Structure 1
Amino acid sequence: MLDFENIAGTIYELSIKYGLKILLAIVTLIIGLWIIKALMGAIRRNMEKRNVDATLRTFLSSLLTMLLKIMLVISVISMVGVEMTSFVAILAAAGLAVGMALSGTLQNFAGGVMIVLFKPFKVGDVIDAQGYVGVVKDIQIFNTVLKTPDNKTIIIPNGGLSTGSLTNFSTESTRRVDFTFGIGYGDDIDKAKSVILSVINTDSRIFKDPEPFIAVSELGDSSVNLVVRVWAEASDYWGIFFDTTEKMKKAFDKEGISIPFPQRDVHIYNEK
């Protein structure tokens, strides 16, 4: 038979012995998390006032937040009455297994450190990496957050970013805009070049130096292809690309210059 009085007494004694500690630990955890949030907010504002690099600012913020939360959890565990020497021993024993399981995470952390140190890109840059193109919104300790042109959020592990190849479109302040326009074999090449140049000269965003480059690049199957290369501010790249493409079509139509497109002749034979 179970002695319910002894069981109840034991539960009461344990509640008296540990209940207050557990309650105090919970209160400490809640207050500690609030203090960490307020402290990190103050630190971020201070770094912004001191004009700390945005890349370093976001990385340090996430790193400090993680370290402070780990210290808080250890403090709460010790308040409950768990022997810290035993806890540390268990943590050390599990460290190897956890480290092997989280080898990718450790690689991402190391990648984050490499990104902050060598700065292949920074917050606000437009990059092409791991098959994604977007603006760098945040560099965290394990991941980098991109915002794509169609407003998608992409999270890329730092390990791949630090070891793989990437294209940074924001490193230089200027960019070259390339076009290819096809004209018919019966059209006048010199006239087409003149029309192209006149369209380019109407856009003040396009640099005069280096001067625009126009040349025949290929004798295609159905068209003579002209390559056009102009220089402009990096921020004007897409505006110039779309505007010039539209203007060129209208100018060719006005000047009677044809834009060939592939055609297919279908011959039908009647079987007798």
Structure 2
Amino acid sequence: MENLEGLIEQAPAFLMTYGLKAVAAIVIFIIGKYFSGVAKRLTDKVLTSRGVDQTVVSFVSNLVWGLVFVFTVIATLGQIGVQTASLVAVIGAAGLAVGLALQGSLSNFAAGVLMVIFRPCRVGDFVEAAGVAGVVDEITIFSTKLRTGDNKTIIAPNSAMMDGTIINYSAQENRRVDLVIGVGYTSDIAATKKVIAQVLDNNQYVLKDPAYTVALGELADCSINFVVRPWVKTANYWPAHFELLEQIKIALDEANIEIPFPQMDLNVKELPAS
């Protein structure tokens, strides 16, 4: 009876102490669950506004929700007296094991997220990266699909794309065509520059602004080399390149300006009779 009376006397204090902890735990859980939803919606909104791929948006927003919810559960259990240190250690060890097992995939995923967010290249761009070059057909969360000029498909890991230098040939509106035109040493320099300039002035692809450059670039072994640098729209780069070479060759031939080929003069000396 004395023990029962003692328990009855301690009951209000027990209920006060642990009841308040239970209420606090419930409040922490409800608030944490609410904020996990808020964090998910906020992440979804921010990534969507930046034009991030919807697959990445869904994955990242769910990941954020999961992290906040796990933190909420741990805080709730700690409030009611559960020792959470061992639980955190187990979760950390499991996360480390999974991370080590999926190291390559996680690296590709992280690189894919960065590519979608920062946009070093877009679908339709011609790029050179990871030791390959081609038109970007598709960017997924793990790899990038490129199409080469001869219609081969290359699938490059996103980590290889982001770890190296990406040369994007389509990023700028205009590109410069760099040509080297060699003529014979007997050719008139002013006349040659005039012929080349007339071709550039009449070409359908060459832009007026920025202005083109025609200048003497090198006195080579067998020729005088002129640098010819017109600006064209990026989409017209290769049509302009091929057309200009053909038109310049025809114009130089019509002006009787020689385009030399490598040659060597041999001087034979007669040796005296022994």
The equivalent of 2:53 in structure 1 is 56
Asked whether 1:140 is paired with 2:140, we answer yes
The equivalent of 1:235 in structure 2 is 235
Identity between Structure 1 and Structure 2 (%): 44
Amino acid at match of 2:199: V
Q: Deviations over 1:152-186 (max 9, x none)?
A: 10111111212211111121111111111011111
Against the structure 1 CA distance between its residues 195 and 96, is the aligned structure 2 distance closer, same or farther, given a 3 Å change threshold? same
Report the Cα distance in structure 2 between the residues aligned to 1:59 and 1:269, rounded to whole angstroms. 78
The equivalent of 1:39 in structure 2 is none
The equivalent of 1:34 in structure 2 is none
Q: In structure 1, the residue corresponding to 2:177 is in which secondary structure?
A: strand
Report the Cα distance in structure 1 between the residues aligned to 2:156 and 2:147, rounded to whole angstroms. 11
Asked whether 1:184 is paired with 2:184, we answer yes
Give matches, 1:146-185, under 5 Å: 146-185=146-185
Against the structure 1 CA distance between its residues 209 and 122, is the aligned structure 2 distance closer, same or farther, given a 3 Å change threshold? same
Give, in angstroms, the shift of residue 121 of structure 1.
1.1
Against the structure 1 CA distance between its residues 265 and 99, is the aligned structure 2 distance closer, same or farther, given a 3 Å change threshold? farther
Against the structure 1 CA distance between its residues 183 and 92, is the aligned structure 2 distance closer, same or farther, given a 3 Å change threshold? same
Task: Give structure 2 stretches of 5+ with no counterpart.
Answer: 1-47, 64-90
Confirm or deny: 8 A CA contact 1:112 1:140 kept in the other structure.
yes
Q: In structure 2, the residue corresponding to 1:107 is in which secondary structure?
A: helix
Report the Cα distance in structure 2 between the residues aligned to 1:173 and 1:208, rounded to whole angstroms. 14
Report the Cα distance in structure 2 between the residues aligned to 1:57 and 1:251, rounded to whole angstroms. 54
Amino acid at match of 2:179: F
Against the structure 1 CA distance between its residues 57 and 176, is the aligned structure 2 distance closer, same or farther, given a 3 Å change threshold? farther
Report the Cα distance in structure 2 between the residues aligned to 1:225 and 1:195, rounded to whole angstroms. 14
Against the structure 1 CA distance between its residues 231 and 150, is the aligned structure 2 distance closer, same or farther, given a 3 Å change threshold? same
The equivalent of 2:19 in structure 1 is none
Report the Cα distance in structure 2 between the residues aligned to 1:177 and 1:58, rounded to whole angstroms. 39
Give matches, 1:17-96, under 5 Å: 53=51, 56-57=53-54, 96=96
Runs of 4+ in 1 over 3 A off after TM superposition: 50-53, 57-61, 91-99, 264-272
Q: CA RMSD in A?
A: 3.2
The equivalent of 2:120 in structure 1 is 120
Confirm or deny: 8 A CA contact 2:125 2:136 kept in the other structure.
yes
Report the Cα distance in structure 1 between the residues aligned to 2:110 and 2:49, rounded to whole angstroms. 25
Task: Give structure 1 stretches of 5+ with no counterpart.
Answer: 1-49, 68-90
Confirm or deny: 8 A CA contact 1:109 1:158 kept in the other structure.
yes
Against the structure 1 CA distance between its residues 117 and 260, is the aligned structure 2 distance closer, same or farther, given a 3 Å change threshold? same
Query: Which one has a bigger Cα radius of gyration?
Result: 2
Report the Cα distance in structure 2 between the residues aligned to 1:120 and 1:156, rounded to whole angstroms. 15
The equivalent of 2:223 in structure 1 is 223
Amino acid at match of 2:255: E
The equivalent of 1:82 in structure 2 is none
Q: Structure 1 length normalisation: TM-score?
A: 0.64
Report the Cα distance in structure 2 between the residues aligned to 1:51 and 1:237, rounded to whole angstroms. 33
Amino acid at match of 1:56: D
The equivalent of 1:200 in structure 2 is 200
Confirm or deny: 8 A CA contact 1:58 1:138 kept in the other structure.
no
Amino acid at match of 1:125: D
Confirm or deny: 8 A CA contact 1:180 1:226 kept in the other structure.
yes
Report the Cα distance in structure 2 between the residues aligned to 1:51 and 1:122, rounded to whole angstroms. 17
Confirm or deny: 8 A CA contact 2:50 2:117 kept in the other structure.
no
Q: Deviations over 1:46-75 (max 9, x none)?
A: xxxx9995x7257568x69xx9xxxxxxxx
Q: In structure 1, the residue corresponding to 2:240 is in which secondary structure?
A: helix
Q: Structure 2 length normalisation: TM-score?
A: 0.63
Count of residues in correspondence between the two structures: 197
Q: Deviations over 1:183-215 (max 9, x none)?
A: 111100101001101111111221112222110
Report the Cα distance in structure 2 between the residues aligned to 1:188 and 1:176, rounded to whole angstroms. 26
Give, in angstroms, the shift of residue 262 of structure 1.
1.3
